[in-house]
C-alpha cells in the first residue's frame, strides 16, 4: 500500500513540475541556456476584453457582388461568341440578366452555345424588333444563392490571410449570418491601418490609357463609350503631398490580379531607394503580359487598384518573364500592406463596416485586475471555509483545489488558449465544483465514521459511495458545456472551453489528488480518529 502511495505522489509531483514549466513563460521570460529548453511558444493569450484591441462587424456588398458576377458572365459570353463566330449586334446587362441582340438566324446557335457552355444561365424573355432579335439570359436562383455563399466564404478566408500576414496574435475571424463576418483583433496597436487593410477590396487591373479620346471627354465628365475616367494618385517625393488627377482609361481590362503569383516589397533600384511592390504573374499571366506589352509598345499601361490609378508608365519594350512593379512613392507600411492584400487575393466584393468597437488597453488592464482580484478573493474564502468546517481534512481539499488551478493553467498554456473574462469566470466556477466534490466525499466519510467504522474503512467507503454522484454531476455539467460551445459564440465559447477542461481536471484532482493525501496519512501515522 505504501509503495502505491509513493507512486501516486511521484505522478502528482511530475504533473506539478510539468504544469509549472508550462505556466512559466506567462510570467517570466528566461534567457540564456534555459530559454532553449522551455516551451516559450506555449503560453496563454489574452482576449480582446483583457488585452484591448478592436472588433469589426463587416458586411459583404452582395448587390455589388452580383453586379461584378454578371459583368464577368457578359465578358465570358462575349469572348465565347467571338470564338464561335456568332454575330451579335449588342450585348448588355440588366440587374441579374444578360441581354444579347442578334439576327434571328443566329438564335438556335446562340441557345445551343449557352446551354452547353453556360449551364448556370437560363433563357428568359425574347423580343423581336424588325430584323433584330433581343434575347434575355438570367442567372439561375440556385446559382445566385451559391455565389453569395461562396463569396462570403472566400471573403472570410481572404480576410483571415491578410490578418495572419499583418501579424496579429490570436485573431478571431468568423462568419456571422449569411453575409457578415466578425473580426476581433486583440492587442492591435494601429486600428486604422488594420481597418484599411481588412476593408480594401484589392481588385487589381491593368488598363490601357485612352490617349486618343481624352479630348472627347464631355465638360460634365462623361467619358466616350468604351472608356472611363479614373483618378490617378500622385505623391510628390520631395514634399510628401499626395494629389489626384483624372485619367481616361479603356474600360476593358487587359489583365487582372487573379493571375498574380507573388507580391513582395522591395527598396531601391530605379526608384531612388523608395519602397515599391514587385509583382510576378503565374505562367498564364506571364504569357498575357508578354503579349500585351509586345502589342502596345509606346502606349501607357495603367496599374489600377480598387479604381485608383497608382502609376501609368509607358511600355518601352516587350516584357517577358511576367515581372512588373507598382510604384507610387509609398511609405514602408503602405507598400507592405499593398503587398499583403495582393498576396492574400482580392475580396469578391466590397465590404461595409457596420460595427467598429475599439477597446483601449487601459480598460483591458482594469478588467484583468478585477478578474484576478475576484478569483483570489473567491479562492481565499473557499480555502478558509474548508479549513474552518472540515479542519485538517480541509487541508487535503485545499491542496487538491490548488492542484486543479495549476493543472488548468498548464493545460491552457500548452493549448495556447485565449484567456477572456468569461474564461476567468469558468476558472472560478471550476474551483467551486472542486470544493463541491470534496464536500460530497467528506460528508460520506462523516457518515461512515458515525457508523463506527475505522478511519481507513471510512475513507474508502466515503470515496466509493460519493464516486457515482460526482461522476453524474460532472458529466451533466460537461454536456451543458458542450452545448454552450456548439451553439454559443465568442465569450460563451471561451467560458465553455474553460469549464470543460476544468471539469475533466477536477475529476482527477478532487478524487485522486485528495485521496492520496488521506492514504499517506493513514499509512504513515495510522490515526484512530480523523479531523473532519
Domain ranges of the chain: 2-45+361-525, 63-144, 200-358
Whole-number Å distance between alpha carbons of 490 and 495: 9
Q: Show the 3-state SS of 307-341.
A: CEEEECCECCCCCCCCEEEECCCCCHHHHHHHHHH
Whole-number Å distance between alpha carbons of 513 and 449: 21
Quote the percentage of the chain above a pLDDT of 70.
92
> Average pLDDT for residues 334-352, to the nearest whole number?
82
Superfamily of domain 2-45+361-525 in the CATH hierarchy: Multidrug efflux transporter AcrB transmembrane domain (1.20.1640.10)
Q: Look at residue 33 and tell me whether its pLDDT is greater than 70.
A: no
Asked whether the domain spanning 63-144 has the same topology as the one spanning 2-45+361-525, the reply is no
CB hemisphere CA count around 27 (13 angstroms): 7
- Split at pLDDT 50, 70, 90, the class of 224 is confident
Tell me the three cell numbers of residue 447. 457518515
CATH number of 63-144: 3.30.1360
CB hemisphere CA count around 154 (13 angstroms): 16
How far from 242 is each of 220, 287, 329, 331, CA to CA, in Å? 25, 34, 9, 12
Instruction: Give residue 30's pLDDT.
Output: 60
CATH number of 200-358: 3.30.1360.200
- H helices, E strands: number in the chain: 15, 19
- Split at pLDDT 50, 70, 90, the class of 36 is low
Query: pTM surpassing 0.75?
Result: no
In angstroms and rounded to an integer, the radius of gyration of the C-alpha atoms of the chain is 34
Q: Look at residue 213 and tell me whether its pLDDT is greater than 70.
A: yes
Residue spans of beta strands (DSSP E) within 196-274:
204-208, 227-235, 242-250, 255-256, 260-267
Amino acid at each position: 500500500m505504501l509503495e502505491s502511495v509513493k507512486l501516486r505522489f511521484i505522478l502528482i509531483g511530475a504533473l506539478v513540475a510539468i504544469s509549472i514549466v508550462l505556466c512559466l513563460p506567462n510570467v517570466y521570460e528566461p534567457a540564456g541556456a534555459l530559454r532553449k529548453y522551455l516551451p516559450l511558444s506555449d503560453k496563454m493569450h489574452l482576449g480582446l476584453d483583457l488585452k484591448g484591441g478592436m472588433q469589426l462587424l463587416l458586411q459583404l456588398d452582395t448587390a455589388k457582388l452580383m453586379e461584378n458576377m454578371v459583368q464577368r458572365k457578359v465578358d465570358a459570353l462575349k469572348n465565347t461568341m467571338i470564338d464561335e463566330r456568332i454575330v451579335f449586334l449588342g450585348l448588355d446587362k440588366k440587374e441579374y440578366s444578360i441581354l444579347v441582340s442578334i439576327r434571328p438566324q443566329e438564335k438556335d446557335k446562340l441557345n445551343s452555345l449557352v446551354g452547353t457552355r453556360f449551364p448556370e444561365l437560363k433563357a428568359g424573355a425574347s423580343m423581336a424588333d424588325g430584323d433584330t432579335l433581343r434575347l434575355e439570359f438570367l442567372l439561375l436562383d440556385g446559382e445566385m444563392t451559391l455565389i453569395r455563399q461562396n463569396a462570403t466564404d472566400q471573403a472570410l478566408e481572404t480576410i483571415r490571410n491578410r490578418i495572419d500576414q499583418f501579424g496579429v496574435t490570436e485573431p478571431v475571424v468568423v462568419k456571422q449570418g449569411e453575409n457578415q463576418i466578425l473580426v476581433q483583433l486583440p492587442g492591435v496597436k494601429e486600428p486604422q491601418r488594420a481597418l484599411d487593410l481588412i476593408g480594401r477590396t484589392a481588385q487589381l487591373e491593368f488598363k490601357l490609357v485612352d490617349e486618343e479620346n481624352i479630348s472627347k471627354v464631355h465638360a460634365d465628365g462623361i467619358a466616350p463609350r468604351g472608356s472611363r475616367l479614373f483618378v490617378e494618385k500622385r505623391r510628390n517625393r520631395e514634399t510628401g503631398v499626395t494629389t489626384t488627377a483624372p485619367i481616361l482609361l479603356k474600360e476593358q481590362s487587359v489583365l487582372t490580379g487573379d493571375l498574380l503569383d507573388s507580391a513582395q516589397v522591395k527598396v531601391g533600384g530605379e526608384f531612388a531607394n523608395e519602397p515599391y511592390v514587385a509583382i510576378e504573374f503565374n505562367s498564364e499571366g506571364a504569357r498575357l503580359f508578354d503579349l500585351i506589352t509586345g502589342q502596345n509598345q509606346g502606349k501607357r499601361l495603367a496599374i489600377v487598384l480598387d479604381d485608383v490609378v497608382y502609376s501609368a508608365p509607358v511600355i518601352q519594350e516587350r516584357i517577358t518573364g511576367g515581372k512588373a512593379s507598382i510604384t507610387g512613392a509609398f511609405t514602408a507600411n503602405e507598400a507592405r500592406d499593398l503587398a499583403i492584400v495582393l498576396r492574400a487575393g482580392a475580396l469578391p466584393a466590397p465590404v461595409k463596416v457596420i460595427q467598429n468597437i475599439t477597446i483601449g488597453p487601459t480598460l483591458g488592464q482594469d478588467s484583468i485586475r478585477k478578474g484576478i482580484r475576484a478569483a483570489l478573493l473567491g479562492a481565499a474564502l473557499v480555502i478558509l471555509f474548508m479549513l474552518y468546517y472540515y479542519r485538517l481534512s480541509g487541508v487535503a481539499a485545499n491542496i487538491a483545489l490548488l492542484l486543479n488551478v495549476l493543472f488548468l493553467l498548464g493545460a491552457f498554456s500548452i493549448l495556447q488558449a485565449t484567456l477572456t473574462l468569461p474564461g476567468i469566470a469558468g476558472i472560478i466556477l471550476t474551483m467551486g465544483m472542486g470544493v463541491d466534490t470534496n464536500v460530497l466525499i467528506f460528508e460520506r466519510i462523516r457518515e461512515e465514521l458515525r457508523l463506527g467504522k475505522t478511519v481507513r474503512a471510512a475513507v474508502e467507503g466515503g470515496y466509493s459511495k460519493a464516486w457515482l454522484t460526482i461522476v453524474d454531476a460532472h458529466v451533466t455539467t460537461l454536456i451543458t458545456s458542450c452545448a454552450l460551445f456548439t451553439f454559443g459564440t465568442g465569450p460563451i465559447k471561451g467560458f465553455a472551453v474553460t469549464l470543460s477542461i476544468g471539469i475533466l481536471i477536477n475529476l482527477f484532482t478532487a478524487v485522486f489528488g485528495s485521496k492520496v493525501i488521506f492514504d499517506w496519512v493513514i499509512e504513515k501515522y495510522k490515526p484512530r480518529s480523523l479531523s473532519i
